[in-house]
Amino acid sequence: MSTQYTIPKTQTAAIVSTAGAAVEVKKDHPVKSPEELAPGECLLKMHCTGVCHTDLHAALGDWPLKAKTPLIGGHEGVGEVVAIGANTPNSPVKIGDRVGVKWLANSCLDCEYCRKGLEQTCVNAKLSGFSVDGTFSQYVVSYVHHVTPIPEGFDSNEAASILCAGVTVYRAIKYSQTQLGDWIVLPGAGGGLGHLAVQYAKVRGLRVIAIDTGDDKEKLCKELGADVWIDFKKSKDIVADIKAATDGQGAHSAVVTTASSSGYTQAVDYLRPGGTLMAVGLPGKATLEASIFFTVLKSISILGSYVGNRQDAREAIDIAARGGVKCYYQLKKLADLESVYTELKEGKIAGRIVLDMQE
């Protein structure tokens, strides 16, 4: 297997030694050799990787669940299969294939949750850049049954963020109990997940109310087809603004992608009877507060939506590859990761950041 590719013994990788420590880029991190791969594992030579707010949480260690340390983060990677573990039967990918690595690195595929399409909740799940090393390195060990094939002609840099941000919002919208022409509210619409949510919502024929702040994000959301823009720093009453835009009835659904509790606070108030709140963003310690009285009175559904399964990923990638969704990103280097984290903390990034790993 190793004859097709020259696989080095060491590589460049961005490593967080302990929770909260600064990212350190090391150029002598070992590469797992093809002979060391377990059955079902594959080795990828990375082309690029997206940077997600989840990577920042993993590095900071501010979630109730803690990442392993030392940690190589990252879970939105596109690379080429350069080796497959011996004794891997019926591998769906072969050496030379271009594939994507997602947050869900691996699952058992046989428990109740996996059988029902909730692979991401498998109790034996392995999570890229969290419980196993992720994509902030030149070579990544992943799993043949969970990597996602990337269609020919679809740019790797474009595909990277679809593998997490894209599939996450795609699944949330898919299960948002909305119909063609319904109104959907997207708090955080100008961010990495939000700007993709605007597009997936439009692909499904929904009318979009985009909530965020700043001229750059307003421009981006409107260019992507948002029907209504609300700047939460300028609005005097967000609930009233949403109702005014929806004939006084309120929206049919809201997909909250923001990483703070503020995006959830007013959702029950601005949803119409029978509306659905899709909880996606993951604040570290915040709680979801909603009026029980009005949740019941208005028959509001509150659903958690956690990334996506293998089929969701293929569907999200297919839509983007056919031009239905475009990821707006800035291309940077692995050495820029620490500064990217700073910008994420300050909410200054419109769209997505992708790191070029081909150096």
Domain count, the chain: 2
Q: Do 182 and 227 fall within a single domain?
A: yes
First to last CA, the chain: 23
Range from 164-168, 190-194, 296-300 carrying the lowest mean pLDDT: 190-194
Which of 93-97, 285-289, 325-329 shows the lowest per-residue confidence on average (mean pLDDT)? 285-289
Statement: residue 51 has pLDDT above 80: yes
Which pLDDT value is given to residue 2? Answer: 42
Of 262, 288, 304, the position where a domain reaches its end is 304
Same domain, yes or no: 260 and 159:
no
Residues 149 and 221 in one domain: no
On whether residue 170 sits in a domain, the answer given is no
Same domain, 14 and 139: yes
Task: Give me the residues paired with residue 318 across strands.
Answer: none
In a domain, residue 336? The reply is yes
Mark whether 246 and 324 lie in a shared domain.
no
Output the domain CATH number for residue 286: 3.40.50.720
Please check whether residues 312 and 186 belong to one and the same domain.
no
More confident: 4 or 193? 193
257, pLDDT greater than 90: no
Q: Is residue 168 part of a domain?
A: no
Report whether 298 contacts 274 (CB < 8 A): yes
Is 242 inside any structural domain?
yes
Among residues 288, 304, 320, the one where a domain terminates is: 304
As a whole number of angstroms, the distance between CA 67 and CA 16 comes to 10
CA separation for the pair 4, 7 (Å, rounded) = 9
Tell me which residue of 286, 234, 257, 281 sits closest to 184, measured CA to CA.
Answer: 257
The answer on pLDDT for 1 being more than 60 is: no
Name the average pLDDT for the chain. Answer: 93
For the chain, helix (H) and strand (E) counts, in that order, are 12, 18
Give residue 259's pLDDT band: very low, low, confident or very high (50, 70, 90): low
pTM of this structure: 0.91
Residues 300 and 312 in one domain: no
* Residue 93 DSSP one-character state: S
The residue segments making up the domain with residue 289 are 176-304
Give domain status of residue 25, yes or no. Answer: yes
Residues 318 and 253 in one domain: no
Asked if residue 68 has pLDDT above 90, the reply is yes
Query: Is the domain of 63 the same as that of 203?
Result: no
Does 88 fall in a domain? Answer: yes
* Residue 5 domain flag: no
Residues 190 and 273 in one domain: yes
Side-chain-side CA neighbours of 91 within 13 Å: the count stands at: 20
Is a pLDDT exceeding 60 seen at residue 208?
A: yes
Return left, alpha or beta for 14; rule: phi > 0 is left, psi -120 to 50 is alpha, else beta: beta
CATH number for the domain that contains residue 321: 3.90.180.10
Q: Which of 273, 289, 304 is the last residue of a domain?
A: 304
Mean pLDDT score, 285-291: 80
Which tokens in the block code for residue 67? 């990442």
Q: Is residue 14 part of a domain?
A: yes
Same domain, 113 and 252: no
Q: Encode burial over 285-295: b for 16+ CB neighbours within 10 A, e otherwise.
A: eeeeebeeeeb
Same domain for 300 and 286: yes
Mean pLDDT in residue range 300-325:
96
User: Which residue stretches of 14-104 are H helix?
Assistant: 53-60
Q: Is pLDDT of 44 > 80?
A: yes
